[in-house]
Structure 1
Amino acid sequence: MDTSPLPKPNFLIETKRLSKSFGDRPAVDQVDLRVGAGEIFGLIGPNGAGKSTLIKMLTTLLPPTSGDAFIAGFDLRRQSRDVRAAIGYVPQLVSADGALTGYENLLLSARLYLIPRSERAARIKEALEMTGLTEAADRLAQHYSGGMLRRLEIAQSTLHRPRLLVMDEPTVGLDPVARDMVWDHVRDLRARLGTTILLTTHVMQEVDALCDKVGILHRGKLVESGTPAELKASIGPKATLDDVFAAVAGKEADASGDYRDIRQTRRSAVSG
């Protein structure tokens, strides 16, 4: 087996045979993933396909069992602290503190990200303006709508201007209006700051609307990757991404996911 180190990549994310097993069960199986700087990359697949496990590895929350990865030029294994400084992460579950105001949540994040005291006020003001939350800055986060709360969480995770923003199911549980506002903010982040965005989603409309490229995980393997148009063309002239998903996952998608997966998804939707 080739054990040579992965060279410094030309991509913001580059993995080589990245794997994670739990006991004898491989959750992520030798994934080779490349995401270019400034891209919005969507990761799709049925529940249990390995998306969340892959995300947790790329954000240093889980150590890989084997394989290599570079994030923003930093070795995931050897330079995990630098990786964490280069990324922002918006998890599925609510991460903002409902007992704090929007401003206080952002101030706490600014401190955690070690943003210099002299820059905090300006960064927070900019973040509130970008997310349309200026008027709600002094309101407790527990009184925010689902869309407002998600925008606050995105603002928290990008205060330090990360090169990569990772979002796990960013619009789960949101109504169409709130979802569209989150989409607009994601596009704005890329346009203003050049942020590279990796997101997981089950909403094919979201992939079509946002993503430059998409990868499909199935049984822990990255089985397809390309632009939405390329993936649809591979199925047929009138194919949709739903058709692509069905062709890859088949009937297993209906039976995928265990009790824990389903409970977490429903908890996320309710909390939104």
Structure 2
Amino acid sequence: MDIVDVNNLVKRYKDVLALDHFDLHIEPGEVFGLLGPNGSGKTTAVNCILQLLTYDKGEIKLFGETMAPSRYDLKRRIGIVPQNVAVFEELTVRENIDYFCALYVSDKAKRRQLVGEAIEFVGLEDYVKFRPRKLSGGLLRRLNIACGIAHKPELIFFDEPTVAVDPQSRNSILEGIQRLNREGSTVVYTSHYMEEAEEICTRIMIMDHGRTLACGTNNELKAMIGTGEKIELEVLDLSDAALADVKALSHVRRASCDGKTVTIACSSGTHNLSDILHVLQTHNIAFGRVYSEPPTLNDVFLEITGKELRD
């Protein structure tokens, strides 16, 4: 049974079709990445699933049951970590976490235990009496996470949780998400950082214009578009004829030279580099360092959604 089961979801903002018969199916235990350019419909889809937005058409089921605004029994099993830090400035770290936990857990003794575990989980033991304005950006993000997960939700939505934090805080947040998943939580993760999704997500959906463009594991997405490695070679002098022969190779998709460096994008193949080097040797082209980089999720994302700038 899918823990998230969305079928044929349609959402319009006047003349704008934000979600175009959108489907989403997430199995229990996944870290599911929801990726897309600005304006692709990610946030709209999540808000509809959480019943924070009304929608025009479609069916949403969570935990196998129909979701509705009044289904507080289902909402208690969900955690939300929004992109913008949402805490109370007049409350301390402990008081903030306790407040949000109280929305789900009424028993004070149980809540005291949960709040303590959440503080320990995000590493805020030394800051429990601090107010948010005294915290750094990374500590604020960790407080935001603690407020969203203190009640031990089965399903957690993370919306851009590592925006504008330092590398150490980002690493701590990602490790925390993976730990939550190991402890039994299903995670829905939206981000613009492709390397993060590639690192932690078990399955990834790329969406745009309110529709699903591709969905699968990291390797499945790369195989879907036939992307191979990117090869760069330092050359002393590359003739037009040699560059033309490189471009003519069956597995070369694009090739260019800026005078000193040849950059070549390949499709999947087992002898791409050896074939390119053979062409250069045939033309007596001297070359220096050779770099070969396997395809990344960022390559897949740009191939599927395009390279034009978004607002």
**Interval of TM-score (by shorter of Structure 1 and Structure 2):** 0.7 to 0.9
Contact 2:138 2:165 in 1 (8 A): yes
How many Å apart are 1:248 and its aligned residue?
A: 1.3
Determine the structure 2 residue equivalent to 1:44: 35
8 Å contact 2:31–2:203 — kept in the other structure?
yes
Looking at structure 2, the residues matched to 223 and 29 of structure 1 have their Cα atoms a distance apart, in angstroms, of 12
Alignment of 1:6-155 (within 5 A): 10-77=1-68, 80-155=71-146
Calculate the TM-score normalised by the size of structure 1.
0.86
User: Is 2:242 the counterpart of 1:251?
Assistant: no
Encode CA deviations 1:41-90: one digit per residue, 9 max, x unaligned: 11111101001100111111112211101112231237632332121111
- Structure 1 partner of 2:292: none
> Structure 1 residue 233: deviation in Å?
2.2
TM-score (normalizing by structure 2): 0.76
Equivalent position of 1:232 in the other structure: 222
- In the alignment, structure 1 segments of 5+ residues that lack a partner are 1-9, 258-272
1:270 alignment partner in structure 2: none
Structure 2 counterpart SS, 1:177: helix
Work out which of the residue numbers 196, 200, 213 in structure 1 matches 2:186: 196
CA distance in 2, matches of 1:56, 1:26: 15
Amino acid across the alignment from 2:191: T
The separation in 2 between residues aligned to 1:126 and 1:138, in whole angstroms, is: 16
CA deviation string 1:77-122 (max 9, x = no partner): 3763233212111111110123221101011112222331121111
* 3-state SS in 2 of match to 1:138: coil
Structure 1 or 2, whichever has the larger Rg, is 2
Aligned length: 245
Instruction: Give how far 1:160 is off.
Output: 1.6
Deviation at 1:33, TM superposition (A): 0.9
- After TM superposition, which residue ranges in structure 1, 4 or more long, deviate above 4 angstroms? none
1:176 matched to 2:167? The reply is yes
- SS of the aligned residue for 2:74 comes to helix
Letter in 1 for 2:202: D
CA distance in 1, matches of 2:223, 2:10: 30
Larger mean Cα displacement after TM superposition, 74-83 or 222-231: 74-83
Within 5 Å, give how 1:201-220 maps onto structure 2.
Answer: 201-220=191-210
Q: Is the Cα–Cα contact under 8 Å of residues 89 and 167 in structure 1 kept in the other structure?
A: yes
For 2:70 and 2:28, locate their aligned partners in 1 and report how far apart those are by CA, in whole Å: 19
AA matched with 2:9? L
Alpha-carbon distance between aligned partners in 1 of 2:193 and 2:170, rounded to the nearest angstrom: 11
Contact kept? 2:51, 2:69, Cα under 8 Å = no
1:3-32, Cα deviation, whole Å (9 max, x unpaired): xxxxxxx11111111121111211011111
- Once residues 120 and 77 of structure 1 are traced to their aligned partners in structure 2, the CA distance between those partners, rounded to angstroms, is 26
Unaligned segments of structure 2, at least 5 residues: 230-294
Residue 60 of structure 2: SS of its match in structure 1?
strand
Instruction: Give secondary structure in 2 for the equivalent of 1:224.
Output: strand
Identity across matched positions, percent:
36
Structure number with greater CO (CA < 8 Å, separation at least 6) is: 1
For the residues of structure 2 that align with 1:33 and 1:111, how far apart are their CA atoms? 30
Q: Would you say the 8 A contact 1:163–1:195 is kept in 2?
A: yes
Provide the C-alpha distance between the structure 2 equivalents of 1:102 and 1:207, rounded to a whole number of angstroms: 29
Distance in 1 of aligned mates of 2:86 and 2:65:
26
C-alpha contact (below 8 Å) 1:72/1:86 kept by paired residues = no
More helix by share: 1
